[in-house]
């Protein structure tokens, strides 16, 4: 039988940053929390993540005996600034669809277990971060993010991958705690633009920009549009301001060639004008939380980010996209973005569109014209 040391050696050989072990007991505190916050987390069931079922490992692997948690350090190489501006870093090199990066390492690790007669499962809906803390790999921040203990200079730029196995291994000492220094005074909570963070390691996920960018329903409410800033998919603000991340962020890193190669495809103008084949070929395989039916949301997010950039160079794009699109959520956001940029060209575009518009689009145009006029 494989020993714990054999497994640790193989994980390190495959390039995982760290590894820990915990038992396969239910995550009772997580279940209790989810049940008490159904209003905030109910959407996860509709989105296909049965978080409640994931709180009992035996629902997933009936003879589960242990959980092996691998840590992947995903920010070893630098990402292009033009990607960091608009997309959460953890998605830049996401290979959950293409399966040509991290997935290959996980597959090799599981194959190693299988060759040694250990059955395993990697359930997406199990609490991976809590598993990591239970396996002694790190602590939480008040921003609800997991921080490594021994690797990546104790930063949050790590993915915990919890693997259920049918073999029992001695568990490591848990480190379930908030590990923030007292002097920080909740920089993350203060910096969260949409007030999703509530302090004490609590969050309202429905107010988080990550949720809002890919699951938010309908036209983004007006009061959230400016706070959501330049983010199009995900958000890193509470990690960027965190002093626990300063040591890792300060280090020089080589460019990530995979992300650099695809960065041009994620240009805001390309996103605003993309058609179905472009989305399916160049975007969805890398950022897949929104299906082709949600193309409108990508465009709405791109238009909002353009507006918040206050960059007059985007006016031409926005005017063209207003004509290209029939979706009223996209058109409404384009009107808002033109009003936010608010120069003469933007105003001319809005006046031109006002004639043939009605309903919510007309209302947004009128609002945008008012805000533009106030600026001129
Ligand atoms: S990811 Fe962004 S929106 Fe979400 S909690 Fe952090 S700062 Fe707030
Ligand atoms: S910003 Fe401060 S309070 Fe927030 S996670 Fe970082 S150290 Fe903790």
Dist. CA 164–CA 58, nearest whole Å:
9
The answer to whether 268 and 306 are in contact (CB under 8 A) is yes
Which residues are CB-contacts of 94 (< 8 A; sequence separation ≥ 6)?
Answer: 286, 287, 288
Q: Tokens for 220, please give them.
A: 């983004």
The answer to whether 109 and 8 are in contact (CB under 8 A) is no
Report pLDDT for 145: 97
Regarding the beta carbon of 240 and ligand 2, being less than 6 Å apart is answered no
Adjacency order of strands within the sheet including 120-121:
18-23, 66-73, 158-165, 120-121
What is the per-residue DSSP string for 258-296? HHHHHGGGG-HHHHHH--HHHIIIIITTTS-SS-GGGHH
Interval between CA 84 and ligand 2 midpoint (Å): 20
Which residues are CB-contacts of 217 (< 8 A; sequence separation ≥ 6)?
Answer: none
Average pLDDT of adjacent 10-residue blocks, the chain of 376 residues: 97 98 96 85 75 91 97 97 97 96 98 98 94 98 98 98 98 98 96 96 93 94 97 98 97 96 98 98 97 97 98 98 97 98 96 95 96 73
CA-based nearest residue to 282, from 271, 296, 268, 293: 271
The answer to whether 327 and 360 are in contact (CB under 8 A) is no
Regarding the beta carbon of 220 and ligand 1, being less than 6 Å apart is answered no
Regarding the beta carbon of 187 and ligand 2, being less than 6 Å apart is answered yes
The sign of the CA dihedral 19, 34, 229, 91 is positive
The sign of the CA dihedral 330, 313, 273, 83 is negative
Regarding the beta carbon of 167 and ligand 2, being less than 6 Å apart is answered no
Distances from the Cα of 227 to the Cα of 27, 99, 212, 342, angstroms: 34, 34, 11, 18
Report pLDDT for 49: 72
Regarding the beta carbon of 237 and ligand 1, being less than 6 Å apart is answered yes
Dist. CA 77–CA 84, nearest whole Å:
13
- Residue having the nearest C-alpha atom to atom 1 of ligand 1: 235
The answer to whether 41 and 190 are in contact (CB under 8 A) is no
pTM of the complete model = 0.94
Regarding the beta carbon of 300 and ligand 2, being less than 6 Å apart is answered no
Interval between CA 172 and ligand 1 midpoint (Å): 31
Ligand located closest to 246 CA: 2
Ligand located closest to 198 CA: 1
Report pLDDT for 185: 92
Q: Rounded to the nearest 5°, which phi and psi values hold at 233?
A: -155, 105
Regarding the beta carbon of 245 and ligand 2, being less than 6 Å apart is answered no
Interval between CA 188 and ligand 2 midpoint (Å): 5
């Amino acid at each position: 039988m494989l020993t714990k040391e054999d497994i640790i050696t193989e994980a390190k050989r495959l390039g995982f940053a760290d590894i820990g072990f915990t038992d396969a007991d239910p995550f009772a505190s997580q279940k209790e929390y989810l049940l008490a916050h159904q209003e905030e987390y109910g959407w996860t069931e509709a989105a296909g993540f049965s978080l409640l079922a994931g709180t009992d490992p035996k629902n997933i692997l009936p003879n589960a005996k242990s959980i092996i948690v691998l840590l992947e350090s995903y920010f070893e190489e630098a990402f292009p600034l033009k990607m960091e501006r608009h997309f959460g870093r953890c998605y830049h090199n996401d290979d959950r669809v293409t399966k040509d990066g991290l997935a290959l390492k996980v597959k090799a690790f599981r194959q190693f277990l299988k060759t040694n007669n250990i059955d395993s499962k990697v359930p997406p809906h199990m609490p991976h971060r809590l598993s990591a803390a239970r396996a002694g790999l790190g602590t939480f921040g008040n921003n609800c993010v997991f921080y490594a203990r021994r690797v990546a200079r104790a930063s949050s730029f790590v993915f915990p991958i919890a693997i259920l196995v049918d073999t029992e291994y001695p568990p490591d000492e848990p480190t379930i705690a908030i590990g923030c220094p007292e002097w920080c005074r909740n920089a993350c909570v203060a910096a969260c633009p949409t007030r999703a963070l509530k302090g004490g390691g609590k969050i309202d996920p429905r107010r988080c920009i990550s949720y809002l960018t890919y699951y938010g329903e309908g036209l983004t409410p007006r009061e959230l549009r400016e706070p959501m800033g330049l983010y199009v998919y995900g958000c890193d603000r509470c990690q960027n301001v965190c002093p626990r991340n300063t040591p890792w962020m300060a280090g020089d890193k080589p460019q990530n060639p995979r992300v650099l190669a695809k960065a041009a495809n994620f240009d805001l103008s390309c996103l605003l004008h993309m058609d179905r084949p472009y989305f399916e070929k160049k975007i969805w395989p890398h950022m897949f939380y929104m299906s082709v039916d949600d193309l409108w949301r990508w465009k709405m997010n791109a238009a909002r980010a353009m507006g918040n950039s206050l960059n007059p160079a985007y006016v031409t794009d926005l005017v063209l996209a207003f004509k290209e699109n029939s979706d009223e959520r996209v058109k409404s956001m384009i009107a808002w973005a033109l009003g936010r940029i608010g120069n003469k060209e933007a105003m001319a575009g809005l006046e031109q569109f006002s004639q043939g518009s009605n309903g919510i689009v007309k209302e947004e145009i009128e609002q945008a014209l008012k805000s533009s006029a106030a600026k001129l």
